[in-house]
Structure 1
Amino acid sequence: MTRIALVTGGSRGIGAAVARRLAADGFDVAVQYYAAAEQAEAVAVVCRDFGVQAMAIQADARSGQALRELKAKLDAEGWTPSVVVHCAGVAHYGLLEDTEEDVWDDLLLLHLKSAYHLTKLFGSAMIWNRGGRFVHLSSLWGVVGAAGEAVYAASKGGLNAFVKSMAKELASAGVTVNAVAPGAIDTDMLAALDEREKASLCDAIPLGRLGKAEEVADLVRFLVSDSASYITGQVIGINGGWSGDNA
């Protein structure tokens, strides 16, 4: 039986690492991207090197209509994902009093409302097939909050609650729903930090280093595997022991 995974935000960072890991495990992979067409196609090429099928597919994950069109394109190819990994996201740094309303709306659309659309669009087939996996990329900030991260943290905190609720709704159909909540991972989201700031951050992390996108991808790979069939409704931290206390 062909195994198919949809990875949103798959053109870079954690999403790209997840796409590669799943391809290595034998999944055909649909790599959703918003604007980075060349990077997404490059990820798809690497995925194909593992002997699977892969396609880069453009869609705005903030838009329900765009995601419905994405599903229509997958349907036209005969692709029915049994795994959906929602990695699409952006960071936002700034005090709430300096944050415009459209930023709030944008982050909730991308991180939270997109999860609603993805579940409605792809959950039905999983229910019908009596099995499937949703994994959502959350954040340490969605668990503990952080000054200057209120909008980002709120969107991820809402996502965590959604994950716990959907896990209960879909459990009877054998569909698991989980989130991974990374701490400081060495991706583009930390690009604004200089080397001194990164060193200071590493000093606050018990393991003394930034995480790697591939390490997050390994956790996702486990959660979509048969070995994780009894794990659902969880927000699993991957943070080197860091509590975020200095943020």
Structure 2
Amino acid sequence: MENVLITGASGAIGQATARKIAESGHSIYLHYNTGEKRANDLSQELSAQYPDQFFTCVQADLSETRGTEKLLGELDLPVSGVVYNCGKSQVGLFQDVPEHIVQEFVQLQLTSPFRLIQHLIQPMIRAKKGRIIFVSSIWGLTGASTEVLYSMVKGGQNTFVKALAKEVAPSGITANAVAPGAVNTPMMNEFSKENIELVKDEIPMGRLARPDEIASLIQFLMSPASGYISGQVISANGAWYC
């Protein structure tokens, strides 16, 4: 049994991922920012189902500069796996994005994970094993009009895992990103029903992904069976972009 940190564990993909990781026999630190009730409910659910594992809720705002320090202070055991799943979209014209939003997104999606993993990877290097997984986005691969900032930071995450994978491979650590297409989560509520239907029409499979489908891919990348897969950005998108 290993200890895993899942950030954004109160969200749809985070919850689905926690259930899959728990199913694999791991104990989990369930990070949240504002979704305290969802995180606590998930912890209780998993604790009842897997009484020999622990499911500890930890709170931190990773869009703030001191967020990583707060989160690290709540982890009382080393982890051998990190699923960095924080994020929210930002839709609007490039020239209209205010400076504070740019700073918030860069902190949340790039600076915080860099600093967090910089600390958490030390025990992995000593143990010669570890898994680093980012939940990125298809827009980090292709870019999206009116989502330039979101595309930029997700593209940075994709490049981060490619570079990190090369550096930590001799230590038996893998680093990968999952870059979903459109997923049926509350994030899609920013779009009208008409726009969502237009997106579905563009996707060859004709539907949005389910959170558990993304979680299953993360579960595999966390497993021993994926030990030779590293530095990859895997996009589960229903053949939308191939």
| 1:73, distance to aligned residue in structure 2 (A) | 2.2
Which residue number corresponds to residue 173 of structure 2?
Answer: 175
CA RMSD of aligned residues (A): 1.3
Question: Hey, what's the Cα distance between the residues in 2 that align with 1:127 and 1:72?
Answer: 20
CA distance in structure 2 between the aligned counterparts of 1:118 and 1:238, rounded to whole angstroms:
26
TM-score, normalising length from structure 1? 0.94
Give deviations 1:116-156, integer Å, cap 9, x for gaps: 01211110010011000000011000000011010000000
How far, CA to CA, are the matches of 1:73 and 1:98 in structure 2? 37
Structure 1 position 74, deviation (Å): 1.6
Out of 115, 118, 123, the position equivalent to 1:117 is: 115
Give the residue type in structure 2 aligned to 1:41: N
Could you tell me how far apart the structure 1 residues matched to 2:13 and 2:136 are?
A: 12
Output the amino acid matched with 1:39: R
**Structure 2 unaligned spans of 5+:** none
- Which residue number in structure 2 is paired with residue 57 of structure 1? 58
User: Structure 1 residue 66: deviation in Å?
Assistant: 2.8
| Paired residues of 1:167 and 1:177 also in contact (CA < 8 A) | yes
DSSP 3-state at the match of 2:91: coil
**Equivalent residue, structure 1, for 2:18:** 19
- Aligned-partner residue type, residue 162 of structure 1: F
Partner of 1:49: helix, strand, or coil?
Answer: helix
Aligned length in residues: 240
CA contact (8 A) 1:23 1:50 kept: no
Q: Aligned partners of 1:243 and 1:142: how far apart in 2?
A: 12
Structure 2 length normalisation: TM-score? 0.95
Kept after mapping to 2: 8 A contact 1:26/1:50: no
Determine the structure 2 residue equivalent to 1:161.
159
Q: Distance in 1 between matches of 2:62 and 2:196?
A: 30
Distance in 2 (alpha carbons) for counterparts of 1:63 and 1:133 = 25
| Paired letter, 2:13 | I
Matched with 2:5 is 6
Aligned AA (1:37): E
Per-residue deviation at 1:64?
Answer: 5.1
> Could you say if the C-alpha distance between residues 16 and 130 of structure 1 is closer, same or farther in structure 2, counting changes exceeding 3 Å?
same
* 1:133 match: secondary structure: strand
3-state DSSP class of the match of 2:132?
A: strand
| Residues 141, 153 of structure 1: 8 Å contact kept | yes
